[in-house]
Structure 1
Amino acid sequence: MGDGAAGGAGVGSGSGDREWSLDELASAYAYPEAGPGGREPWLRANMVSTLDGAAQHEGLSLPISSATDRRIFGTLRGLADVVLVGAETVRQEGYRPARAREGFATLREAAGHGPAPAIAVVSASLDLDFSLPLFTSPLVPTLLLTGAAAAPDRVATVEKAGVQVVIAGDGMGVDPARAVRALAGLGHTRLLTEGGPRLLGQLMAAGVLDELCLTISPMLTAGDAQRIAGGPSVAVPKRFELVSLLEEAGFLFSRYRRT
């Protein structure tokens, strides 16, 4: 494993090809401390992309991932209060509830957080299968963010399924800035989004994304796969700064924060 940390503390690789420990990963990916001059809530995204810009292969992110990428995925979830995800990603990726991770139990308890992050699904249509484990048997209750103009009968269906509806927009859809504020109001200040591309694009355009954790996969896929962010382009490109860069087996694990 190589470590090319830039502009911040990275994870040391030690001798040989040993696996990074959870403590090392938790330290490397720790959320900024809240306080004077600090930003809270803090929203980070975790995405993976091939060398030619594909965020998926045949509709899924798993084929372009790696074992270490999945450990970092678990680490980021272990540090977060809530995972914000788009409804289409829930449908395509077969999202399941976040599970408790033994390595983070003490850390989460000391910080006064539950055993696992809540999953917060963003949906305008509320067209989801509420018989899935994400809604029927989560360790921490799943949330559903929608707009005030969502169909009343669909809202009733969601609430009948025991899922908490959080209104975060005046129309059918969700306003990204309002969604962040609403989640913070529920005590979720360490936010993580795992996409999909349309949701990430909306968060970027609204200027509420604080950090991007991007895994660059040493693969080429061609085709017409989505990029990590979609939707309309922003008026002025957003500038982020490199915080750290780790490498293993050709995979690059980068962290960027907005300037």
Structure 2
Amino acid sequence: MRRAHFATNFTSGDGELTESALRELYAYPRHLPRPWIRTNFVCSVDGAVSVDGRSGALGTPADKQVYDTLRELADVVVVGAGTVRAEDYGGVRIGPDGRQRRIESGMSDLPPIAVVSARAHLDPHSRLFADTDVTPIVFTCADADPGKVSDLANAGARVVTAGEHEVTSTGLVTALDELGLRRVLCEGGPSLFGRLAGDDCVDELCLTTAPVLAGGTAGRIATSPRAQVTAMTPAHILADSDGTVLTRWVRVPQL
């Protein structure tokens, strides 16, 4: 056993990271023949993924900066319907400089929120539709309630079928690819992450460990009916002066 990694100072002391350096650290691979699924989560030191049902209570300034950086770099932000309801999701917000960087790199000025909802069970009057500058995408099933699908379309959603009776991982990845959305940022929740991990579709995990104990009954960042072991390796480890630790894990290439 040996010490393999030294944490890099994030926002204080020698070696402080600039915003530009942070974007370089979290850049997607240059050439993507298929969608690259990056997931982003925060948890407490004792493993809680939320406090009173919301992950926002675990956020720190460093986590917020990485969160904003990841959104700026993504083609699309994918979220499960339960997380959208629990966190009251609105559209992505990126400042003028970030929008300009995206445009200069050939991207749209803002990434859309894409919600996975097998039954199209979303409130067409929620912030997802009322507080956004970009048309949201809803990935649903062929047998979803036509009335609900119609309501979401009328609210401005782009509704995409990604499975017959459920939104499968393969169906989701294929639909993203057909839309030309390859730099994918998945923000949860645990069921969606667990499904993608269980189907061996996760390429990367960005995990923030907040310097708090949370207790409670909160679950893990990923849950699924069956286990699937995927070998990962750390791409980098960052630390903030307040004790926040931010890690980026990438899948070990299969030989």
TM-score by length of structure 2 reads 0.90
Q: Is the 8 A contact 2:91 2:113 kept in 1?
A: yes
Q: Is the 8 A contact 2:8 2:237 kept in 1?
A: no
Distance in 1 of aligned mates of 2:160 and 2:193:
19
Which residue, 160, 175, 190 being the options, matches 2:183?
190
Which residue, 22, 27, 44 being the options, matches 1:25?
22
The count of residues paired between Structure 1 and Structure 2 equals 249
Counterpart residue type for residue 109 of structure 1: I
Aligned equivalent of 1:167:
161
Matched, 1:180 2:177: no
Compared CA separation, residues 59 and 239, structure 1 to 2 (3 A): same
Q: Is the 8 A contact 2:8 2:15 kept in 1?
A: no
Structure 1 unaligned spans of 5+: none
Q: Is the 8 A contact 1:101 1:116 kept in 2?
A: no
Compared CA separation, residues 89 and 13, structure 1 to 2 (3 A): closer
Q: Is the 8 A contact 1:5 1:244 kept in 2?
A: no
- Tell me the CA shift for residue 139 of structure 1: 1.6
Which residue, 54, 58, 62 being the options, matches 2:56?
62
CA RMSD, 1 decimal: 2.2
1:149-228 aligned at under 5 Å gives the runs 149-171=143-165, 173-228=166-221
Aligned equivalent of 1:241:
233
1:4-153 aligned at under 5 Å gives the runs 6=5, 16=13, 20-34=17-31, 40-153=34-147
Distance in 1 of aligned mates of 2:47 and 2:11:
31
Distance in 2 of aligned mates of 1:162 and 1:251:
38
Distance in 2 of aligned mates of 1:182 and 1:111:
23
- Tell me the CA shift for residue 22 of structure 1: 2.0
Structure 2 unaligned spans of 5+: none
Distance in 1 of aligned mates of 2:101 and 2:60:
25
- Tell me the CA shift for residue 231 of structure 1: 2.1
Q: Is the 8 A contact 2:9 2:16 kept in 1?
A: no
Distance in 2 of aligned mates of 1:13 and 1:151:
47
Q: Is the 8 A contact 1:244 1:255 kept in 2?
A: yes
Which residue, 214, 223, 232 being the options, matches 1:230?
223
Percent of residue pairs bearing the same amino acid type? 39
Tell me the SS of whatever aligns to 1:47.
Answer: strand
Counterpart residue type for residue 24 of structure 1: A
TM-score by length of structure 1 reads 0.89
